[in-house]
Amino acid sequence: MACVYIPVQNSEEEVRVALDQLPRDATDILDILKAEQAPLDLWLIIAREYFKQGKVEQFRQILEEGSSPEIDEYYADVRYERIAILNALGAYFSYLGKIETKQKEKEDHFILATKYYNKASRIDMHEPSTWVGKGKHNQNLQVNFYKCTRSHKNLEHTHLVTGQLLLAKGDVDQAFSAFKIVLDGDRDNVPALLGHACVEFNRGKYSSSLEIYKRVLQVYPECPAAVRLGIGLCRYKLGQFERAKQAFERVLQASHMLTTFCMFFLDPENVEALVALGIVDLQSNEASGIRGAMEKMQRAFDVYPYCATALNYLANHFFFTGQHFLVEQLTETALAATSHGSTRAHSYYNLARSYHSKGDYEKAGLYYMASVKEVNKPQEFILPFYGLGQVQLKLGDFKSSLSNFEKVLEVYPENCETLKAVAHIYLQLNQPTKAHEALKKAVRIDPRDPEAFLDLGELLISTDSGAALDAFKTARNLLKKANEEVSIELLNNIGVIHFERGEFELAQQTFKEALGDGIWMKLIDSEAQSDSFRKVLHQPMDASLAARIYKDMQLFHNLEKNGITVELPWDKITTLSNLARLFEQLHKTETASILYRLILFKFPEYVDAYLRLAAIAKARNNVPLSIELIRDALEVDDKNPDALCMLGDLELKNDDWVKAKDTFRAAKDASNGKDSYATLCLGNWNYFAAVRSEKRAPKLEATHLEKAKELYTKVLVERPANMYAANGAGVVLAEKGQFDIAKELFTQVQEAASGSVFVQMPDVWINLAHVHFAQGNFPLAIKMYQNCLRKFYYNTDSQILLYLARTHYEAEQWQDCKKTLLKAIHLAPSNYTLRFDTGVTLQKFSASTLQKTKRTVDEVRATVAELKNAVRLFSQLSAASNLQIHGFDEKKIETHVGYCKHLLEAAKVHCDAAELEDQQNRHRLELARQAAIREEESRLAEEQKKVKLEKRKQEDELKKVMQQEQHLERIKEHWKSSSGSKRKDRGQEDEEGGQGGERRRRKSSNKKRKRDKKPMDDDQQDYEETNYYQPDNQTNDNDNDDNDNRLAAAGLEDSDADDDTGGAPSSNTGRRIRGWSESEEDEPEKRQPSSSPVRDNSAEMQPSDGE
């Protein structure tokens, strides 16, 4: 049994104290020590023994007594032991400080510890450090071999202790300098080395830390477990998991042997090693490893229930097993047990994560925040930043979220998940370029991540559909390769892009793939239908119901009645609706309508389907049905701005102006003014209102125009890329005569519109053509109208044909004008305005031909024919007016008839004259021709004579030569002469070719621009007014306007009897004419170059003006 002997003062005797039988009350032994003035090392031994036995109070009592001022005084010379005592106390308190969880007490302990160390260092500044080893890597480990085995043998140094203290407080840099002082004195000072290693470890320099530990092991092979633990941890941090594991295992093997060395390892189990080993096991990521890890954690927990690390890992484990209650318990305990920042950070993180997964984002955010606050540098523990970012993203705090994710990226610049999250936020913050960069990086880093490609595709959808398509396709292929299910959304997206790019076949395939098999397939593909199915599907319907076909659901009831289940999973609605939209594009409209109805059959609240059906009905001119369908949609959602806008549009079509305005207003209100389409509609409404009003009040007109402009501008401010608003703005500008700006605007819109299959903007083409027309650039206007007709209307729009005819008329291309009008009549047979216009054109053509000074008889004949046609057209109109078929004024028409007949008579004279002249001409020509023929004949005869003469000459010569030369040469000579004569014949033919010249002369163009263009220009404005934006809304009104214009124009220009009609024409005409006279005053300067009014006919205008 170990004993100590206290020498009795002034004698040889000793008091024997058995160390295992130390009195409970330390005062007894203290009294002895004091009385006998025992050496201080005995005090230390006894104190340590008390400590070993767990009698901390006694330990403290002895040491405190041993460092009291009396002792200092008495043992003034004994420096070493005094320092040892102080150091022991210091170490004790610093340990207390470390394990204390309450901040206040913790501070107190540290202060006390510092006091003792300071006192020690005052005793001897130059004393080497106390052997108070304390391996410490981070605070959770608290491996403390404070005053280990050989403390009494080693020299102590306060610097070392101070260093450790500083380390314990987390002041790494100062600790480092403290250790450095020691190491400068003794390179192999083990505690200093350990401290240094610890510093390096804390600084994240794991490999250098590892090196130092290894050196410690060399210097001191029986080192405590802590060294191995340190090695293990370093290896772990360096990613050498196997070797780390070995190290930890050795710690555990050795731990019971080493217990003696470690004052505070009171248990045979080293908690830290257990925990570390557990972590390594976890790292293995295998089921068995994880199980083992949890067992070890459990053991550590049993050994020491306040080890925060173990708690955290257990919590982590239970998080993954979903036992959130345990997670909270454990982490709360862990939080209570430790003040170490990073451990707390882990605990908070666990807690936050638990709430996060439960969907309590507020709380999760708070705990993430707490966790983040505990972390000094993001690189130490990045997860809470990520979590915080996620939660903030969820809560819509994009800016903070972004900054957190960016912190993650600083540490892990290549983390795909984070990059994706960042990209998502950039997108939300409307910074698509940055989002694009982030996603591109993510895709580059991990080209096998389908999700990243998906995100990238979604990002690019609006900007670069081609690239988006590629991204989506890559995602699809990756998923397919991995044998994962390709989501319907992805396929849908691919389909949509194909659709947008006009690759309809591919789009259809993709949509079908997305939809899989179902009732829709049978509805789409008639070949897949069985006969019985087809029979049910194609039951004839009463023709009187056919007008309401898009509301018919009987079809599905019939199918169900016949035992065919009609099912539609909700997640396929969107794709099915897209497919239906595609069928619309492919003009398989009836199939599309069945699909839409299928959607509505199953999901009657799917508003879009109603709207599409309404649009189909509208395209078929079935306004009542369309309105009914929209009302259905509004029943589901009475604030749906799209439905309201459409309704307004239809009301306009029904000429229900006031209602339409209210509806548009409601649409605007329903979307809080954010729906630019509603605003746009209101703008259009105002524009139409400005140009349509029956009583044309300039003031009202100006107000409406101003209002329209304001609304268009508003839309443009919100969405600078809105083409329709730009178009509207251009129209208003054109209306105000600012053609150049308008043209600029239209051109830009036109360019912008030519890209998507969905954006069809024929209006802007028409407007542009109108501007060209207004500026007198007829050829360009004609080209533009023609292109527009062909490109957008399959040449079926009679209104544009009318514009075209009008341009031809202005360009005095009478035949083109007539043909164009006839085509228009053919397309719109019931539009009598067109017939009237044709009549006017014929009349104008004839008049202008007759006014020409030089004209051929054919021209005059054509004139007569056309005049007859005009008369017939007008008389037909006149007859029709009796039947009240159209709204023309009968007298007006009769005026035209009269005028044409008058012209016809005049033409007859001209015709006769021309005929005569023609005959004379012909006679003259005939004479000339005969003369020419005669001349030719004589010339020919002469030539022949010449040839003959020559021939004879040659023959004579030949004969001579024959006489002199041989037979062969004579033949050669003969060939030469014969080929020469052939050439001459050809020359004659050329001369005859000149006779076609006469025909060319007839085509003499007549480009003289005549007379007052003024009314026409204004007329042109009416054209403009009518068709902007949605010409179909306006067609009917326009007809009347044009009609009036035509009437007036015709009357003004040609009709002598116009005076009579002064009082008679319909009020519209009068109104119109007044309008012209007003605008004429406004505009002449502007129009000078093109109009230069010749006033010869303007006198005729006066009566009208006076109206």
**Does position 795 bind other proteins by CB under 8 A?**
yes
One-letter amino acid of 1080: E
Q: Which is nearer to other proteins, 266 or 521 (CB)?
A: 521
Q: Which x/- pattern, by CB under 8 A, does the window 405-444 give for other proteins?
A: ----------------------------------------
**Does position 527 bind other proteins by CB under 8 A?**
yes
Residue range at the interface with other proteins (CB under 8 A); choices 234-242, 862-870, 948-956, 1056-1064: 862-870
Residue range at the interface with other proteins (CB under 8 A); choices 248-256, 382-390, 499-507, 828-836: 828-836
Residue from 27, 428, 589, 748 in contact with other proteins (CB under 8 A):
589
**Does position 546 bind other proteins by CB under 8 A?**
yes
Instruction: Report d(CA 337, CA 1008) in Å as an integer.
Output: 104
**Does position 591 bind other proteins by CB under 8 A?**
yes
Instruction: Report d(CA 395, CA 408) in Å as an integer.
Output: 19
100 near 94, Cβ under 8 Å? no
**Does position 758 bind other proteins by CB under 8 A?**
no
**Does position 794 bind other proteins by CB under 8 A?**
yes
**Does position 540 bind other proteins by CB under 8 A?**
yes
190 near 220, Cβ under 8 Å? yes
**Count of residues of this chain found to bind other proteins when the rule CB under 8 A is applied:** 50
**Does position 1071 bind other proteins by CB under 8 A?**
no
| End-to-end CA, the chain | 140
**Does position 238 bind other proteins by CB under 8 A?**
no
DSSP characters over 316-381: HHHHHHT-HHHHHHHHHHHHHH---HHHHHHHHHHHHHHHHHHT-HHHHHHHHHHHHHH-SSTTT-
CB of 616 to other proteins, least distance (A): 9
Instruction: Report d(CA 305, CA 314) in Å as an integer.
Output: 11
Which residue, chain included where needed, has tokens 């925990």? 275
Residue from 19, 123, 366, 822 in contact with other proteins (CB under 8 A):
822
Three-class SS state of 539: coil
CB of 470 to other proteins, least distance (A): 30
Give the pairing of strands 3-7 and 14-18: antiparallel
Q: Which is nearer to other proteins, 545 or 940 (CB)?
A: 545
CB of 692 to other proteins, least distance (A): 15
Residue from 56, 257, 553, 865 in contact with other proteins (CB under 8 A):
865
Instruction: Report d(CA 343, CA 351) in Å as an integer.
Output: 12
**Does position 246 bind other proteins by CB under 8 A?**
no
One-letter amino acid of 922: R
Instruction: Count CB-CB contacts under 10 A for residue 1028.
Output: 26
Q: Which is nearer to other proteins, 883 or 971 (CB)?
A: 883
Residue range at the interface with other proteins (CB under 8 A); choices 172-180, 409-417, 427-435, 534-542: 534-542
Torsion of CA 898, 904, 910, 915, to 10 degrees: -170
Q: Hey, which residues between 172 and 231 contact other proteins (CB under 8 A)?
A: none
Q: Hey, which residues between 879 and 918 contact other proteins (CB under 8 A)?
A: 879-887
CB of 534 to other proteins, least distance (A): 8
Residue range at the interface with other proteins (CB under 8 A); choices 47-55, 628-636, 821-829, 921-929: 821-829
**Does position 1036 bind other proteins by CB under 8 A?**
yes
Q: Which of 90, 104, 220, 226 is nearest to 168 (CA)?
A: 90
Stated as kind and residue range, the H or E segment containing 292 is helix 287-303
CB of 866 to other proteins, least distance (A): 9
Residue range at the interface with other proteins (CB under 8 A); choices 459-467, 560-568, 619-627, 723-731: 619-627
Supply the DSSP symbol for 551. G
CB of 832 to other proteins, least distance (A): 8
Q: Which is nearer to other proteins, 431 or 589 (CB)?
A: 589
Partners of 123 in beta bridges: none
One-letter amino acid of 75: Y
266 near 274, Cβ under 8 Å? no
Contacts with 772 (C-beta within 8 Å, 6 or more apart), sequence order? 743, 778, 780, 781, 784
Instruction: Report d(CA 657, CA 650) in Å as an integer.
Output: 10
Instruction: Count CB-CB contacts under 10 A for residue 674.
Output: 11
**Does position 587 bind other proteins by CB under 8 A?**
yes
Q: Hey, which residues between 640 and 699 contact other proteins (CB under 8 A)?
A: none
Residue from 184, 505, 590, 912 in contact with other proteins (CB under 8 A):
590
By CB atoms closer than 10 A (0-12, 13-18, 19+), residue 228 is: buried
Instruction: Report d(CA 684, CA 218) in Å as an integer.
Output: 91
CB of 801 to other proteins, least distance (A): 12
Phi, psi of 702 (to 5 degrees): -60, -40
Q: Hey, which residues between 312 and 341 contact other proteins (CB under 8 A)?
A: none
Residue from 79, 106, 256, 823 in contact with other proteins (CB under 8 A):
823
Instruction: Report d(CA 402, CA 417) in Å as an integer.
Output: 13
**Does position 1089 bind other proteins by CB under 8 A?**
no
CB of 529 to other proteins, least distance (A): 9
Instruction: Report d(CA 910, CA 858) in Å as an integer.
Output: 12
**Does position 796 bind other proteins by CB under 8 A?**
yes
CB of 760 to other proteins, least distance (A): 12
In degrees, rounded to 5, the angle at the alpha carbon of residue 324 between the alpha carbons of residues 323 and 329 is 105
497 near 469, Cβ under 8 Å? yes
Task: Give the distance from CA 419 to its chain's centroid.
Answer: 17
Instruction: Report d(CA 684, CA 1067) in Å as an integer.
Output: 26
Residue from 256, 588, 696, 1011 in contact with other proteins (CB under 8 A):
588
CB of 646 to other proteins, least distance (A): 17
Residue range at the interface with other proteins (CB under 8 A); choices 20-28, 101-109, 628-636, 870-878: 870-878
Instruction: Report d(CA 1051, CA 531) in Å as an integer.
Output: 66
Residue from 528, 541, 759, 949 in contact with other proteins (CB under 8 A):
541
Q: Hey, which residues between 548 and 577 contact other proteins (CB under 8 A)?
A: 549
**Does position 106 bind other proteins by CB under 8 A?**
no
**Does position 876 bind other proteins by CB under 8 A?**
yes
Enumerate binding residues for other proteins (CB under 8 A): 526-527, 538, 540-544, 546-547, 549, 587-591, 617, 619-622, 793-796, 819, 822-823, 825-826, 829-830, 832, 838, 865, 868-869, 872-873, 876, 879-887, 1036
